[in-house]
Structure formats: structure tokens, C-alpha cells
Structure 1
Amino acid sequence: MTGFTFLSFLNGLFGRLPFGVQDNAPAEAEDPTIAELRENLQNLLERGEVWVRNNLLTQENLIAIGTQISVVVAAILVGWFLAPRIRRVLDFGISKLPGDLANRVNQITPLILDHGLRPALWVAFLWIGEVVLSAMGLPHVMVRIAASLATAWLIIKLITQFMPEDMRKPVAWFAWSLAILSSMGILDDAWRMVNSQGIPFGEGMINAEFVLRAIIMAAVFIFAAQWLASRLKSRVETLPKVEPSLRILMANAIQIGLFIAAAFLTMTSLGIPLSGLAVFGGALGVGLGFGMQQIVANFISGVILLSDRSIKPHDVIEVDETYGEVMSLGLRYASVVTRDGKEHLIPNEQLVTNKVVNWSYSNNLVRIKRRFLVEYESDLRLAAQLCIDAAMDQPRVLHDPAPKCLLMEFGESAVEMEARFWITDPQNGINNIGSEVMFAMWDKFKEHGIDLPLGQDEIRILGDSQLNVKLVRDKKPKPEAKADSEQD
């Protein structure tokens, strides 16, 4: 090579390094060690330049490299050009399918075509180019590497889109690392080197291969258990002759059983002996029994509630100061939604041990009572009839059983009466319908002259009693005090 060479560039570069001798530096005695290192580096660079010139920068090699780069670029351009046209053809063909089949295909094709059509074309043309170059006896290493990386890109694109958002990047980086090592032909050597280190475990070793196999097997079995549990739960929820609480219990038992089976299958596939878990399981059970008493109590209480059907979904219950509708029953807590929209998560243990009022245990028929007072001078029978009419006017109040109005007590200053009526929708509230009935009673009483007692105290002065009256004049405040009081 003539003119500016790679070696001259490096010589110029290293001439500016600390161990190089600069032209404008004063002549000094150079350290023998630095001089020897500089001479060895120059010899190495010279041999490298000779090797590059004789093996890489030959006409034959440059033609081979250019040919492979041209094949890669051509495959990318052709795939980029054909992808939208092929997509239009596929969409047109899908639109000609029957309605139901077209809808199902349209739900799947965007997941594949949006992310995989163009990379799939690149993979196809790159592998075709690699086969053609191989058949012609031309070098094709670069095309093979490009095809391998394009194949990895296609697989990663199609798989990671179905994963959670926070898992996509780690999985993609790991897959890309494997793909690069595989395309360079050193994956097997790297894998053997990584697996040579580990922790002895039984007859084997906990190494990278063991961990990777454990992750894959656990993911497969858990996914299969979750898929089968969802199918069986949907089937159980449609059983017509099974109570809702028993459906929930069966669905939870199926889900827990399948996940336990997935754990045992995972350990079996990894060669972990299950007999050794007996002692560990006993010790773990004792520890959990002391440390998780409340959780275990809630779990057992949940099983009791779901099995004895004392509380079911959509029952209206009242526990402590919470009144609402049971939306769901779980193995740890029950979800109760009150009339003001608050959702209370009540532990199952409280529902078993505390007093619970179930307004819809056997049926939804609920009787409501409201007491009121009437003046002694009023027509009590008319007041009772007006009370019944006021209850009958409300759409939520049942006509059978019919409302009633009972005379409860003759009080000191008024007559005490009680209205009783029935409803079948306690989940819609009890106090609100009671209020509506009382408002209607108020209107009817005013219209028919039924007087309600006014709370007052009565003082009687008998004939032989003495009443002392004392007149006291109020003292006017001083001007200064008045000004002070106004400021306060």
C-alpha cells in the first residue's frame, strides 16, 4: 500500500501517547522498558497490517463482502417494498370470508401481521439469498448471520407482545444475547462455560441450565393450570342446580388444586424428590399455624360460609354498623357494598363469630316498622287508615302482605302508634322507603286534620300554692365595657 496507511495513522496516534517520542520534544534518554514496549507494539501493528492487506483487502474478498452486503440490502429493500402490498392482499382476502370467520381472523391477524409481516419477508429473502450463494459456491457467512438475527427478531417480536409490559425488555435482551451468540457460532461453548459453575444439589447441580429449565417448566405448568382453572370455573358458574356459594367454593377449590398440582409437576420434572418435602412441610405447617393464625382462621371461616350457605352473594346483611349487599365471597374476606357506595372487605372470621343480620337469608321478604305519635284529640281510626293508605301508595311496598297500623301505647301526652309494611328489595335500602312512607303520612295527616303532638312542658299552679315574683332591673354596662365587648 502507498500513501497514507493504517500503520502510519496508528504510528501518528501512538506517537502522541505518553510513551511515544514526539518530534518537538527535547532529546532525552528514553526509558529502555518504554522503548522495548513501543518497538513490540510497532511490530505487532506491522504484522496486523500485512495480514489485513493479504487476507481481507484482496480483490476476491472485497467482491465477496460486497456481494453479501448487496444481498442483505436487497432483501431488506424488497421486504420493505412488498410488505404493505401483501398486507392489502391479505386484508382483501379476509374481507371475503364469511362474517363470523372474518371477525375471528381479524382478531388474530393484527397481532401477527402488524409486528411480523415485514421481518418475516426479510427472513425469507435472506435465507433464499444464503441458499443461492451457497449453491453458487460463494461465501455466505454475513448473509447467514443476518438471516439468523432477522429470524431472532421475528420470534422476539411475536412472543414478547403477549407478555406483560414490564417483562418485555428483559426477555428481549436475553433472547437477543442468545441470538447473537448463536449467529457467531459460540453459543454452545458459552453455554458449557456457564453451566460448569453451580451449586451441588443431590445428584445434579443448580446451574444456569437448571434455573432456566425451572423457569420454563414452572411457566408452562402455571399457565396450563390457570387456563384450565378459568375454563372449569366458567363451567361451574353455569351449573343451574348448584347454589352460588357452592359454585364459589368449587371454583376456588379447583383453582387451588390445579396450582398445587402445577407445583408438584414442576418439582417432579426438575428431579426434586417429593419425599424430602414431608419433614419440611410439617415444620412449615407448624410455623404457619403460629404465625398466620388470622389468615388460616379467615380461610377456614370462608370454607364454612361457602359450604353452609348462611351468607350468599347478593344477600343483604348487617354486621356491626355495616349494612349492605354482599357482592362477592372469597376465602379470606367478603365484599359488602353499602348504600353510600363504600365497599367493605369484612374478614370471614367476623361473619362466623359475630352476630350477623341477614335480611335475605331464606327470602327477600322484609318487614319494616316505623313508630309515630298522635294527639289524644285526633281520630285514631282515621289516623290508622291514613297510615295504611300512605304505605300502599309507595310502589316498593307490598300489598300482600298488606300494611298495618297498630295502636301500641297510650303515652303521657300522646298516643303511640306503629306502621308495619313489607318490601322485597332490601338491597335498595330500608331507611329510604321508611322515610317515603313517613312523608306520605305527614301529607295525609295535614290534609285530614290529624294533629301530631308538639313537645312541650306543662307547669301547674295549684290554689293553695305560693308563687313568689321578684323584679330585677338590668344594669346598663359602662361605656368602656361596652366598647370592649364590641371589639370582642
Structure 2
Amino acid sequence: MKQKQSVSSRVVLTAMLVVAALAPAAGVLAQDTQEPAATPAPTLVPEPTPIPAAEILGRAAAIGKILRDATSRTEFDDELTLIGEDFENEKEHISELEEETGRRLAIEGPASVIEEIEKAWVRSGARLDEWLKTLSSGVASIDKEQAKLDEEAALWELTRSAEGETELPPAVLQRIDETLDAIATSKKGMHTTRDAMLTLQSKIGKEKAHVDEIVATQREEIANRRRGIMGIDSPPIWKMLSVPGVDGGPSEQLTAVWSKNFASVRDYVVEQQASVRRHVVLLVMTIAGLIFLRRKAALWAQQDKSLKTTVRVLDRPVAAAFVITLVLGGLIHPHAPSAWKDFLGLILLFALLRILPQMLPRTLLPGAYLIALLYFLDRVVKLAPDGNLVNRLALLLLSVVGAGVCVWFLRTIDRLGSAVPERWRRAIIFFTRLAFVAFVIGVLANIIGSVAFATLITLGMLGSVFLAVLFWVAAVLLRAVVRVVLLTRIARKFGVVRLHADTVRRVLFRVITASAVVAWVVFSLQDFDILDATIAQVLKVFEFEISIGDFSIVVDDILIFFLVIWLSLKISQLLRFVLDTDVLPRMDLPRGVPGAITRLTHYVIIVAGVVIAATAAGLDFSKLTLIVGALGVGIGFGLQNVVNNFVSGLILLFERPVRVGDKVQVGQLSGTVKNIGMRASIVGTWEGAEVIVPNANLISSEVVNWTLSDDRRRMEIPAGVAYGTDPTRVIELFIGLARDHPDVLDDPEPKAIFTGFGASSLDFELRAWTTGDFVAVASDLRVGINRALADAGIEIPFPQQDLHLRTVDDEAGVALAHSERERDLTDSGEQPAISGSDGAEDDEET
């Protein structure tokens, strides 16, 4: 590594960052001293020139084709005629809505009396908005074409006026005049169409303002009625039992309401054909997809027994498709009338009755039919006129049956044991008890005459129960679909799924569960008519402002800031995960480049997230530049090491002198680079420890990178043989052994060198290259050398030394002499003397 070049790069990059940080502050400080900038000179537009004589006829033919196309183009006129006819029909519809609105506003009753007609007004306003957008687009298109024709007319007028200079023949002049007349005729027709569009746009805009005014009035009346919903609005129910009906019998009333709802559904289908068509297409595609997944799951379940539950859940693909697509009905039909929603609810009921027996344990199977009974009573309540005796009796029966179902469910769930997780078990029991209380309150409110409140709390709780069952079923179905989809061949092609299938499945399951819970809460609040009020209260909390002197901050600014930062972190985490596991491995990139790409992506997303968060929070960057510039110097001194390491990390990112996976040596530290972070890198040593190394050390210090340009590494294995061995034979033996090893490279080829004459051996050294684990390969070669020398009868000597004694003390001398005499006697075959006298004589002689 070239240290000088790396240090210079770091210095240059640091200087660039310092200049970039101080530039805004310098600019702010210099604003008072700079001269005002001069007004830029206007861009000169070249003057048009007459058409050359040689191009006049060709240009006339081209403009003639354009004019014929513009004259024969009838989409503007057709569109104008169609919108005009629809607008006349819509005006009649608006007149009918006005009459119905006046009648409903005169009726004393709950807010639901007005909500239905308010939805019709919203749909009417949406149609008017669509026509206004279409007309605006048409007028803009005509203006654009007229501007082009104006330019052409000016050019042809200029050419006509220059006729005296060019002396054009009469035929050409006549062609010019014909072209000018055609342009004028076309402009006149466009002008007429444009005026008609603007006139119709004005009428529609006036009607739209009228519709908006009526909608605002209705919403105000709805809010007023909701505020007084706790009062008594009807006589007690026992008094109504003795009052004869005045509007005909119950059958006639139900028939009238049924006919009215049928007409509402029919009109909505006619009005919203495109939305209904999209819903049907989505349903058909979902049915086909679920049938395919069911067959796949049944096939795989023969090998994987854990899929049996999934197969059972998907055993009713048509009913499951209805549940999944009808759950999305609120998104496809946001302003649908209640009759349309009741129609979809009826279809959902039959679909749920087909699916629930496949999901519920046998103990809870009666619950599916109890839900059907509650839904039937709910329809009776909604079909009967508000305040009618049939309506109140059906509402009373619905509340009583609902309370009874809650009691039955509380007793039944205790027998399920561990089939339900404890956390969900506690939540279900709490919600069931809450529903029981609500139904009892509904009974009491209905009896004493607070019909609006009884209707709201009973139907709201019942709707919440329906939604809980519906979203639970939809969540179970989607979880089953996800589990099977992740096993398909198409999904397994993605590395994210193939390598981390369990993680992906867990994340998707959590998303499905969280989405179901959030949707249930939102729609339940809507059923209780408190969604708008809840949102208003939450927004009021978010708009709370904290002021300290001249400094003020709003709560929602803080929440938005941290929310955007959190989202940027999650997006960065997800994107890096996808890049590392699925995208970058498919690309042929040099080692280290994928890691640089993911880290750069992380930095970009984080910086963008901080900027977006600051902008969304309302921070004024122009006021912060001076402060940031002033604090830059102090921060630079205080965080010099941190900045130095961060800049070094950027150098490592772009120059890549050290990459993840490289085998490096920094001073006394050796190991493999595991991660390169913003401030420090992690090096795993050969002993298994993880050492945190500041990035600046990898730039300013000498770093030995064994794998910078390639993975090759030379092994040097010394060995010694006994004197008298043929050196040529040893060299051939070593080279042959290295060539036979599969992990030793042929280029560069292995070499064996006779390094010299040792004290007790002839010294040799085997040099070979490898790209694998050089420690293991070197060990294999040492073992092979030992075995080969042994097989060849070549001795590996051990060190030998001669010891010369100059002086010896008396005791050591006696011991040495005695040992020497014993050895001599042993060599001559005599036995050494045992007696003390003999020993004394021997000692004397010695």
C-alpha cells in the first residue's frame, strides 16, 4: 500500500469537506458586503425569417396535413357533447337529492339518517370534479395547438409580406394565401370549441360549489346530531306497543325499504361501472391464484406434514377469494351507499360460513351460525324505518341475542385450553366482556327511548365483532397464501427467499397481523361514528406548540422528524438486505465492490432521510447556516478524531485499499477484515478475537494486505537432512511433493532451494504458492516431507554438540571416574567391585 498516496487522498478529501462546511457560513457573513447582483440580461429570441421559396410548397403540404388532422379531430367535440349530456342528467339527479335532503333534514333522528344521502352528494361532487379536470385538460390542449397555429400564421404572414423581395410566382402566392385561410379557419373552429368548453366548465364549476355547500351543511348537521345522541328521542318501548302503526304494516314498510335499497345498488353499479369491473377482475384473478396455490400445497403436504393446516385453510378457494377481495371493497368503493355495502356483506356472510368450519375448532363451530343469526337481525334493524316498532323490537332482540352469544363464547373459550395463545386469549376475553356490556346498555337504552344511542352502541359493537371475525379470517388466509407462495419455484429464485425464507415469512406474518389489527381499529371507530372525532383529537395533540421565549416547536414536527428518520433506517436496512442477498450476488463485481455499494447506499439513504426529516419538521436551513458555520470550527477541534476516522472510512469506501474479507496485518495485529464502518472497522484475528480498529489506522499506518490484488500467498518450509545425502535427490523429492498437492499453484511453480550447510544438517527450503488456507496447506506439506524422507531412507538429524570440561570439582571428578571404570568393566565383561575396599582402591588409583 502506498502510504503517501493514501495520506494525500485523505488530506484532499478532508479539505473538501471543511470547505463545504464553511462555505455556507462564509456566504451568510459576506451577504452584507457583497454588491447586489446585476440583473441577468434577457435571453435573445431569434427573429423569425421568411420561408425560403424552395421550401414553401413542401411546408404548405405539411401544414395542410396538420390542419386537416385538426379539423377532422372530433374527440373534443364528442367529449364536449358527452359531458354536456351527462351534466344535464346530473343536474336532474342533484335536484332529486335536494328534495331527499330536505326531507331527511326535517326528520328528527340519528345522524345515520343524513349520512346515507351525504355519501350520494359526495359521489356527485366527485363526478363533477372529474368533468372539470377533463375540460381543463381539453382547454389546455386546444391552447397549445392554437399557439402552434399562431406561430405558423405569423411565419406565413412574414413570408407573404416578403413577396416583393423574392418575386414569387402567382401560383406560390395563391398557395400561401390558401394556407393562411386554412389556418384562420382552423383557429376559428378551435376557438369555438374552446369557448364552449369554458362555458360548460363554468356551469359545472358553479354546480360543484353548490354541491360543496350542501355537503358542508349536511356534515354540520351530522355533527350536531351526534352531540345529542345520548338524549331520549323516542317514547319508551312499552308505550309504542299500544300505538297502532300509521304508515302501513311492517311487511309493506320492509318491502318499500327493500325496493329502495335495490334501486340504490342498481344505480351505483350503473354509475361506477369501472370500479365494479375492476373488482370483478380482481375477484377472478384471486380465485385462479388460490386454486393454483391449493393444488401446490396439497402436493407438497404429502412430504411436509406441517402444510396440512394450510391445505385445510385453502380448501375453499372461491370463498377465500371472496373474503380477500371483499375486504378490499372499502378501498375500491370508498363512497359506496350503505345498500351496496350491505350487499357485499351478504356475500361475505355466505363466504365466511363456508370457510369458518375449516378454521374453527369443533367447540366453536356453533359460533359461525350464531354470527349468521346476528347478521340477519342486523339486516332487519337496518331495513326497518328508523323509530318504527319493528325496528325497535328487532334492535332489542339483536341486543339480547348478542349478549347471549357473548356469555356462550366466554364459557366456551375456557374449554379450548392452550389452543389459543395466552396473549390473544386475554385480549379476546376482554373484548367479549366489553361487547356484553355494550349489548346490555343497548337493551336498556332501547327500552327507555334513547333509540339513537341504542342503535349506535348495538350496531357499532356488532359491526366491530363482524370486522374482528372478518379480518381474522382474512389474516389467516393471507398467512396461508404467503407460506405457500414462498415455497413456489418463482419465489425460490430470489436469494432473499431462498436463503432467509423463515425470516421473510415471520416479517410478512407480522405485517399481516399488524395491518389486520389497525384496520379493525379504524373501521370499528367508524362504526361507532367516532373516527372523525378521534382523528381531530389526535391532530389537536400533534398541533400542540411548546414555546420558550422566541423558540417554539410543535409536537407533530418532532414526531414527523423521528418518524422519517426511523423509516429511513428501516428502508436502508431492507434495501441493504436485498442488495446483499439477491441483487449484487447476481452481478459479476470485483471483491469489495458489493460492500462499497451497500455502504454507500446506506449513507445516501440516511443523509436523504435526515434532510427530508428536517424539511418535513419545518426547519429553516437558511437560519441554520450561520450557526452551523460558527460551530463548525469548534466541532472540528472537539471531534477531530471522529471526523478523521469518518473521512478515512470514506477513503476506504471509494479507494478500497482494504476490503471486507481481506487478510491484513496492522502492526502486531493480523486477521481478516469483517466489517468497515463509518468510524471503525472490525478485524477478526486468527485466534477468534474481534478487534476494533479505527479507520484512520488503516489509512495512515502501514498495512500489509495479503489479498489486495489476489489471494496468492507463498509458503516457505525449511527442512534439514543428514550430511552425506544427495542434495539433488532432496530437491527433486520436495518439488514432486509440492506439485502433487491439489492446493499448490502451478504458476508460479514450486521451488526447492539448498540454503546452506548447517551445524548438523544440509539445509533446504521448499517455496510454494497457494490461494487456499496457507496454514493447512503448509501443514500438509510438512507432513508429506517427513513421510517422503522417511520412505526414502533419508535421516533428519537432530543437533549434536561436543562438551569440553576444563575444570571439575572433586565430587564431580570422583563420580565421572567411577562411571568411566564401570563402563570399561562392562565392555571387558568383568563385574564391577561391590565392596567398599575395592572401591576405595579404585578411587585411590584414579
TM-score, normalising length: structure 2: 0.36
Query: Kindly tell me: are residues 297 and 100 of structure 1, through their superposed partners in 2, closer, same or farther at Cα, counting changes over 3 Å?
Result: farther
User: For 2:814, which of 447, 471, 477 is the aligned residue?
Assistant: 471
For 1:207 and 1:175, locate their aligned partners in 2 and report how far apart those are by CA, in whole Å: 30
Amino acid at match of 1:443: R
Amino acid at match of 1:95: I
- Preserved contact between residue 464 and residue 527 of structure 2 (Cα < 8 Å): no
Shift of 1:268: 2.5
- Segment drifting more, 323-332 vs 210-219: 210-219
For 1:146 and 1:226, locate their aligned partners in 2 and report how far apart those are by CA, in whole Å: 40
Query: Kindly tell me: are residues 128 and 225 of structure 1, through their superposed partners in 2, closer, same or farther at Cα, counting changes over 3 Å?
Result: farther
For 1:447 and 1:324, locate their aligned partners in 2 and report how far apart those are by CA, in whole Å: 37
Cross-structure match for 1:441: 785
Query: Kindly tell me: are residues 388 and 306 of structure 1, through their superposed partners in 2, closer, same or farther at Cα, counting changes over 3 Å?
Result: same
- Preserved contact between residue 316 and residue 324 of structure 1 (Cα < 8 Å): yes
Aligned-partner SS, 2:765: strand
Amino acid at match of 1:138: D
Cross-structure match for 2:290: 94
Cross-structure match for 2:604: 257
- Preserved contact between residue 322 and residue 338 of structure 1 (Cα < 8 Å): yes
For 2:765 and 2:601, locate their aligned partners in 1 and report how far apart those are by CA, in whole Å: 51
Alpha-carbon displacement from aligned partner over 1:343-384 (angstroms, at most 9, x marks no partner): 555443332233322222222332211222333333333333
Number of residues paired by the alignment? 381
Aligned-partner SS, 1:275: helix
- What does 1:80-159 align with in structure 2 at a 5 Å threshold? 94-96=290-292, 133-138=381-386, 140-146=455-461, 149-150=464-465
Amino acid at match of 2:291: S
**Is residue 2:703 matched to residue 1:365?**
no
User: For 2:729, which of 382, 390, 394 is the aligned residue?
Assistant: 382
- Preserved contact between residue 246 and residue 307 of structure 1 (Cα < 8 Å): no
User: For 2:655, which of 279, 293, 308 is the aligned residue?
Assistant: 308
For 2:801 and 2:706, locate their aligned partners in 1 and report how far apart those are by CA, in whole Å: 40
Shift of 1:136: 2.3
Query: Kindly tell me: are residues 286 and 213 of structure 1, through their superposed partners in 2, closer, same or farther at Cα, counting changes over 3 Å?
Result: same
Query: Kindly tell me: are residues 339 and 181 of structure 1, through their superposed partners in 2, closer, same or farther at Cα, counting changes over 3 Å?
Result: same
- Preserved contact between residue 221 and residue 262 of structure 1 (Cα < 8 Å): yes
For 1:326 and 1:162, locate their aligned partners in 2 and report how far apart those are by CA, in whole Å: 30
Aligned-partner SS, 2:752: strand
- What does 1:315-464 align with in structure 2 at a 5 Å threshold? 315-337=662-684, 344-425=691-772, 428=773, 430-460=774-804
Shift of 1:199: 1.4
For 2:744 and 2:787, locate their aligned partners in 1 and report how far apart those are by CA, in whole Å: 18
Query: Kindly tell me: are residues 351 and 203 of structure 1, through their superposed partners in 2, closer, same or farther at Cα, counting changes over 3 Å?
Result: closer
Query: Kindly tell me: are residues 239 and 281 of structure 1, through their superposed partners in 2, closer, same or farther at Cα, counting changes over 3 Å?
Result: farther
Alpha-carbon displacement from aligned partner over 1:44-73 (angstroms, at most 9, x marks no partner): xxxxxxx99x96674659xxxxxxxxxxxx
Structure 2: state its 5+ residue gaps: 1-230, 242-285, 300-309, 315-319, 328-343, 350-373, 388-454, 479-505, 817-846
**Is residue 2:615 matched to residue 1:268?**
yes
For 2:599 and 2:815, locate their aligned partners in 1 and report how far apart those are by CA, in whole Å: 82
For 1:262 and 1:235, locate their aligned partners in 2 and report how far apart those are by CA, in whole Å: 23
- Preserved contact between residue 734 and residue 785 of structure 2 (Cα < 8 Å): yes
- Preserved contact between residue 225 and residue 262 of structure 1 (Cα < 8 Å): no
- Preserved contact between residue 221 and residue 266 of structure 1 (Cα < 8 Å): no
Shift of 1:307: 2.3
Aligned-partner SS, 2:621: coil
- Preserved contact between residue 335 and residue 345 of structure 1 (Cα < 8 Å): yes
Aligned-partner SS, 1:318: strand
Aligned-partner SS, 1:248: helix
Query: Kindly tell me: are residues 441 and 231 of structure 1, through their superposed partners in 2, closer, same or farther at Cα, counting changes over 3 Å?
Result: closer
Query: Kindly tell me: are residues 163 and 57 of structure 1, through their superposed partners in 2, closer, same or farther at Cα, counting changes over 3 Å?
Result: farther
- Preserved contact between residue 245 and residue 306 of structure 1 (Cα < 8 Å): no
Query: Kindly tell me: are residues 312 and 377 of structure 1, through their superposed partners in 2, closer, same or farther at Cα, counting changes over 3 Å?
Result: same
Which structure has more helix as a fraction of its residues? 2
- Preserved contact between residue 229 and residue 258 of structure 1 (Cα < 8 Å): no
For 1:403 and 1:59, locate their aligned partners in 2 and report how far apart those are by CA, in whole Å: 111
Shift of 1:418: 1.7
Alpha-carbon displacement from aligned partner over 1:74-107 (angstroms, at most 9, x marks no partner): xxxxxxxxxxxxxxxx88961347999999xx9x
Shift of 1:188: 6.5
Aligned-partner SS, 1:389: helix
Amino acid at match of 2:625: A
Amino acid at match of 2:726: D
Query: Kindly tell me: are residues 302 and 444 of structure 1, through their superposed partners in 2, closer, same or farther at Cα, counting changes over 3 Å?
Result: same
- Preserved contact between residue 94 and residue 102 of structure 1 (Cα < 8 Å): no
Query: Kindly tell me: are residues 455 and 127 of structure 1, through their superposed partners in 2, closer, same or farther at Cα, counting changes over 3 Å?
Result: same
Cross-structure match for 2:643: 296
For 1:432 and 1:400, locate their aligned partners in 2 and report how far apart those are by CA, in whole Å: 20
- Preserved contact between residue 543 and residue 556 of structure 2 (Cα < 8 Å): no
- Preserved contact between residue 249 and residue 307 of structure 1 (Cα < 8 Å): yes
Cross-structure match for 1:34: none
- Segment drifting more, 131-140 vs 300-309: 131-140
Query: Kindly tell me: are residues 214 and 164 of structure 1, through their superposed partners in 2, closer, same or farther at Cα, counting changes over 3 Å?
Result: farther
Structure 1: state its 5+ residue gaps: 1-50, 62-89, 474-488
Shift of 1:404: 2.1
For 1:466 and 1:210, locate their aligned partners in 2 and report how far apart those are by CA, in whole Å: 95
For 2:788 and 2:803, locate their aligned partners in 1 and report how far apart those are by CA, in whole Å: 32
Shift of 1:420: 1.4
CA RMSD of aligned residues (A): 5.4
User: For 2:528, which of 180, 183, 205 is the aligned residue?
Assistant: 183
Query: Kindly tell me: are residues 281 and 251 of structure 1, through their superposed partners in 2, closer, same or farther at Cα, counting changes over 3 Å?
Result: farther
Amino acid at match of 2:724: E
- Preserved contact between residue 316 and residue 323 of structure 1 (Cα < 8 Å): yes
Query: Kindly tell me: are residues 176 and 262 of structure 1, through their superposed partners in 2, closer, same or farther at Cα, counting changes over 3 Å?
Result: same
Alpha-carbon displacement from aligned partner over 1:384-431 (angstroms, at most 9, x marks no partner): 333323333322223443322222232333333222122232xx2x23
Query: Kindly tell me: are residues 460 and 320 of structure 1, through their superposed partners in 2, closer, same or farther at Cα, counting changes over 3 Å?
Result: same
- Preserved contact between residue 760 and residue 800 of structure 2 (Cα < 8 Å): no
Shift of 1:458: 0.6
Percent identity between the two aligned chains: 22
Query: Kindly tell me: are residues 243 and 439 of structure 1, through their superposed partners in 2, closer, same or farther at Cα, counting changes over 3 Å?
Result: closer
Query: Kindly tell me: are residues 207 and 457 of structure 1, through their superposed partners in 2, closer, same or farther at Cα, counting changes over 3 Å?
Result: same
- Segment drifting more, 385-394 vs 210-219: 210-219
- What does 1:278-293 align with in structure 2 at a 5 Å threshold? 278-282=625-629, 285-286=632-633, 288-293=635-640
Query: Kindly tell me: are residues 467 and 388 of structure 1, through their superposed partners in 2, closer, same or farther at Cα, counting changes over 3 Å?
Result: farther
Shift of 1:334: 4.0
- Preserved contact between residue 152 and residue 176 of structure 1 (Cα < 8 Å): no
For 1:314 and 1:335, locate their aligned partners in 2 and report how far apart those are by CA, in whole Å: 11
Which structure has more strand as a fraction of its residues? 1
Amino acid at match of 1:440: G
For 2:298 and 2:621, locate their aligned partners in 1 and report how far apart those are by CA, in whole Å: 49
